[in-house]
Chain A
Amino acid sequence: MQQTPPLSLEVHGLAHRFGDGRGVSDVSLSVPRGSITGFIGVNGAGKSTTLRCLLGLLKPQAGEIRLFGAPADAASRHRVGFLPEERGLFPRDRARDVIAFNARLKGVERKAALRTADRLLHRIGLGGRERERIETLSKGNAQRVQLLCALAHEPELLLLDEPLSGLDPIAQSEILSLFAEFRAGGGAILFSTHSMAAAEAICDRVAILSNGRTVFEGSVSDAARQAPHGAVVVTDDEAGLIASAEAIGGRAWPLSTVGSRLGAATRWQVALPREVTHPVLMRALSERAVPIFAFEPIRENLEGAFWSLTRNAETALPPDRQAA
């Protein structure tokens, strides 16, 4: 029998609403020790608000946050490393000094902090550039230095808000390998991202957020299975599309209107039974001479699941809360 690893982070029913009604209303997730959890949601879904609540930067209005098996407090938050969405360093600070400074703020002794800074810089390929000022580093390198600031006090849990944004593919790959190394050392990571590919590549688990609520939490493979089988079709023949879909046991519903030179076309989602393949749908559409401006199979992956889950969650909302 496989033993469940202890949880580094548990969140139950977290809520924090701002004056305009935005924020989070019901977020629940867990991050086991030695794992990476992707925190996925569209802009404004509440990812940053959740992370700031976890760190105590915002006071939750409801819900429970447990860190390392106990209610979160200042001492347990000292064991957490954080990379905020809004990133910035003092341009005149030297790379090793800024990393050591962040470590010392968390109570690490000066010499140990400097040693750690040197080691981490060497690890990401900036060995020999310890004394360079941040203003002389490239944007990608500066961002990597900022990530090292979160790692400098050797935390047990990393909370990272969009750590991959603004990085080129090579830098992203390096950062992901750093995450993997951290996980191998028993650390836990919760990172918010828009990159489904990155989440699919490295995450053990995902938590999908929509309109301030957790709509899915579980393993990446379980998430992928949430993706519907079907396709997205852009056409202006509504009746033909619906008849074609029903003829092969599926159903269709509009996603959005697409204004184009070809006329008022509509983007439709067509759900199909698992045994019906995409070519069957194509054939059914061509038999009825339905004009097809675009045809995009919905993949059974995280991205497909994400769109489906967030769409379902949005349609469940009252009309005034639905995204435009």
Chain B
Amino acid sequence: MIGPVRLIAEREFRTYVATASFWIALLVGPIIMAAAAGALAVSFKAPTPAPIHVVAEDPVLARMAVAALEDLAGLEGRAVAIRVGPPAASPETPLTIEVRRTGPVDVRLTQSGAPALGPLQWRLLTRTLERDVARGALATTSPATTPPTTALAPSRTARTSPEATQTPSSGAPASLGRFALVLTLWMTLTGSLGMLLQAVVRERGNRSLESLLASVRPVQIVLGKVIGVGAVSLLVLGAWMGSAAGLAILAPGVRQAGGAGLAASLGDPASLLRAALIYLLAFAFYGLLTVAVGVRARDAAAAQNMVRPLFGLLLAAFFVALVSSIGAGQRLDWLLWVPPFTPFVLLTKAPGALPLLQEVASCALLLLGAVVAGRAAAKGLSVQPVERRKKTRGRRADDQGSASA
């Protein structure tokens, strides 16, 4: 069983890999990525942190002010260097925030130096600080006293979802990273399914299918082709993902542009294993479905027409993933149970976001879909188009006969 499958897979692999055009096309991706990363690196200039001095009599109040300023900077995506204490005497006075307690829960802020905070920033800073001071006061008077350190920023400990374990500024890159995985899967599938379709039609086109069928079982041919083309895709995927991960780690511009999330996803072995498993199942399902459709075509043109709905489905799955990635796809989560959408929905979810049982059950359903598609492909391969035509003609003749009777 394994021998012929391996031989056919090897041949499929060699058919693509043994051409110069394949290697040129393979290198194009990393070269474009490197060029883009270079452009980003040139245009990306790490901002110099703006110095801010916090002056406060009370150290707790100073820490609260620092935390409020950090939150403000995080929201704005600015880099700041906050120091507690007055600035050293210099010709250019940096921004200095002075905080003074005017009551048990009242504070007064003044700013001097440059660049001064705008009215909106100032209002936000004041409100945040007032809120934290009030919470701190409540915490210290409550019987179940919470430690002062947690009292400084109570709002940060209230989140329990997996997303909340990351800081607000790292949530977007993580989501972008997952979407990059979806995009890569989609690109891999659209590219390799085209190759797979060609591989199936080619056998009929050069009329070598019958001699192959005389030596091996149809299911072995189907598996050999899917594995062979899958190996080609894996090579392409590996080259592209490796380049992307390398650039995400090395190039600061790419890291800022969401590459950090991708690098984090690839750096975590559990996430990587999960993504690999989903990729494998997705490829098996879509690959076998393509073969099942492709073997029923007489030539390349017919095959292209027949698989068009499949590519439409793939496009729909991509949009579902896109909607889910931007956080607007809660209502589409039921598509997890529809095999063509399962891998895309799964990839948009962070590891652990779904109950394990739910993930395993949806993957099992996807696997079942792949098995059904594989059986249909093997059956379709063993029936020659000529025979199928004869059968159809016969049925038509029967229909006409019974109609005339």
- Tell me whether A18 and B211 are in contact (CB under 8 A): no
Partner of A57 from B3, B7, B205, B214 at Cβ < 8 Å: B214
- Given A83-B211, A84-B210, A88-B207, A19:B15 Cβ within 8 A: no
Question: CA separation between A309 and B161, bound complex, in Å?
Answer: 86
- A88 CB contacts on chain B under 8 angstroms: 205-208
Partner of A21 from B205, B216, B384, B394 at Cβ < 8 Å: B394
Q: In the complex, which residues 199-229 of chain A have their Cβ closer than 8 Å to any Cβ of chain B?
A: none
Question: CA separation between A82 and B212, bound complex, in Å?
Answer: 10
- Tell me whether A86 and B207 are in contact (CB under 8 A): yes
- Tell me whether B390 and A19 are in contact (CB under 8 A): yes
- Given A55-B214, A102-B211, A18:B206 Cβ within 8 A: no
Q: Main SS of chain B's interface residues?
A: helix
- Tell me whether B15 and A90 are in contact (CB under 8 A): yes
Question: CA separation between A267 and B390, bound complex, in Å?
Answer: 33
- Tell me whether B213 and A19 are in contact (CB under 8 A): no
Is residue B391 within 8 Å, beta carbon to beta carbon, of the partner chain?
yes
Supply 6 A–B pairs (Cβ within 8 Å), ascending by A: A18-B394, A19-B392, A85-B210, A88-B206, A105-B7, A149-B211
Residue from B208, B382, B398 whose CB has the most chain A CB atoms within 10 Å: B208
**Nearest Cβ in chain B — how far from A128, in angstroms?**
22
Q: In the complex, which residues 100-157 of chain A have their Cβ closer than 8 Å to any Cβ of chain B?
A: 101-102, 104-107, 146, 149-150
Question: CA separation between A86 and B11, bound complex, in Å?
Answer: 21
Q: Render A4-26 as a binary contact track against B, CB cut-off 8 A, 1 for contact.
A: 00000000000000111110000
- Tell me whether B390 and A90 are in contact (CB under 8 A): no
- B141 CB contacts on chain A under 8 angstroms: none
Q: What number of A-B contacts does a CB cutoff of 8 Å give?
A: 72
- Tell me whether A106 and B391 are in contact (CB under 8 A): no
Is residue B123 within 8 Å, beta carbon to beta carbon, of the partner chain?
no
Is residue B83 within 8 Å, beta carbon to beta carbon, of the partner chain?
no
**Nearest Cβ in chain B — how far from A21, in angstroms?**
7
- Tell me whether B11 and A101 are in contact (CB under 8 A): yes
- Tell me whether B395 and A19 are in contact (CB under 8 A): yes
**Nearest Cβ in chain B — how far from A172, in angstroms?**
21
Question: CA separation between A306 and B213, bound complex, in Å?
Answer: 32
- Given A90-B15, A106-B215, A101:B393 Cβ within 8 A: no
- Tell me whether A91 and B397 are in contact (CB under 8 A): no
Question: CA separation between A105 and B224, bound complex, in Å?
Answer: 12
Partner of A82 from B18, B214, B382, B387 at Cβ < 8 Å: B214
Range class of the A interface residue count:
20 to 34
- Given A19-B391, A19-B398, A105-B7, A57:B213 Cβ within 8 A: yes
Is residue B4 within 8 Å, beta carbon to beta carbon, of the partner chain?
yes
Partner of B15 from A55, A92, A104 at Cβ < 8 Å: A92
- A86 CB contacts on chain B under 8 angstroms: 207, 210
Is residue A87 within 8 Å, beta carbon to beta carbon, of the partner chain?
yes
Q: Which A-B residue pairs are the 10 nearest by beta carbons?
A: A19-B394, A88-B207, A88-B206, A18-B390, A20-B394, A84-B210, A19-B391, A86-B207, A82-B214, A105-B215
Question: CA separation between A11 and B342, bound complex, in Å?
Answer: 51
- Tell me whether A20 and B393 are in contact (CB under 8 A): yes
Is residue A72 within 8 Å, beta carbon to beta carbon, of the partner chain?
no
Q: Render B192-224 as a binary contact track against A, CB cut-off 8 A, 1 for contact.
A: 000000000010011110111111100000000
Question: CA separation between A37 and B387, bound complex, in Å?
Answer: 26
Chain A residue at smallest Cβ distance from B393 = A20
- Given A86-B210, A89-B208, A92-B15, A20:B390 Cβ within 8 A: yes
- Given A90-B15, A105-B215, A19:B393 Cβ within 8 A: yes
Q: Render B214-237 as a binary contact track against A, CB cut-off 8 A, 1 for contact.
A: 111000000000000000000000
- B212 CB contacts on chain A under 8 angstroms: 105
- B395 CB contacts on chain A under 8 angstroms: 19
- Given A19-B394, A90-B15, A105-B216, A58:B387 Cβ within 8 A: yes
- B397 CB contacts on chain A under 8 angstroms: 19-21
Question: CA separation between A282 and B7, bound complex, in Å?
Answer: 66
